[in-house]
Amino acid sequence: MSLLECKGVTRIFDANSAAFKALDDVSMSIEEGEFVAIVGRSGSGKSTLLNVLGMLDVPDEGEVLFEGVNVSTMSDKEKSVLRNKSFGYVFQSFFLEPEYTVYENVEMPLVIAGVKASERDERTRELIELVGLNDRKDQKTKKLSGGEKQRTCIARALACKPSIVLADEPCGNLDSANSAEIMKLFRVIAEQGSAVLMVTHNEDDAAKADRIMYMKDGSLSDERQ
């Protein structure tokens, strides 16, 4: 049984009164501790796929399964609990609270999950050390560099010890040196047991993954299309 899987997923949007298939009969799976990259140009459908797999969007056809369970059978509350417990999200645009410190941003999912204060503090400090931001933990995130912001995002994504981290163009706003550091962190995450699914247009970043898939015009393939 795969950790996360989709079968025959199609997602249709209406654009200028015309139906547009952002995803066209997509099937894939990812296993525990696997680092997978999906490569495609802007508009190829890769971010839409990530949103569907992460239960941030709903397919028009097909199904998404997490640990063998079809998530479409879950209530909105059950999906919300599953997202907070088992999924970590890393986005190109960071989505940090700019007036909060690094510590406060990383701690936030643990507060939402109701983790007691002493455990929150231990876990938050552990993650900030993992991403190399001990000396910045009390800095407001609006004052961080792009690389520091993304490392904060990764620490936040790992707060609840997710089974899988979904990363959408995580290095899109970073230089090559910072991108290399983020790829090293993803490798560490996978080695510690959490799967990583990253979508990117950058083939150098994708080459760091265990497996690469290719997306074009809403279709996904193991081979370059």
pLDDT in tens, 125-165: 999 999 999 999 999 999 999 999 999 999 999 999 999 99
> Which two three-digit tokens encode residue 90?
């890393």
Q: Which pLDDT value is given to residue 18?
A: 75
Check whether 47 has a pLDDT greater than 80: yes
Q: Hunting for tokens 């898939």 — which residue is that?
A: 213
Check whether 225 has a pLDDT greater than 80: no
Chain mean pLDDT for the chain: 94
d(CA 154, CA 29): 22
Give the CA dihedral 187, 199, 152, 55, nearest 10 degrees. Answer: -110
- Identify the burial level of 154 via C-beta atoms within 10 angstroms of its C-beta, where 0-12 means exposed, 13-18 middle and 19 or more buried: buried
Superfamily classification of domain 4-221: P-loop containing nucleotide triphosphate hydrolases (3.40.50.300)
Check whether 17 has a pLDDT greater than 70: no
Check whether 98 has a pLDDT greater than 90: yes
Handedness of CA 139, 144, 148, 150 (dihedral sign): positive
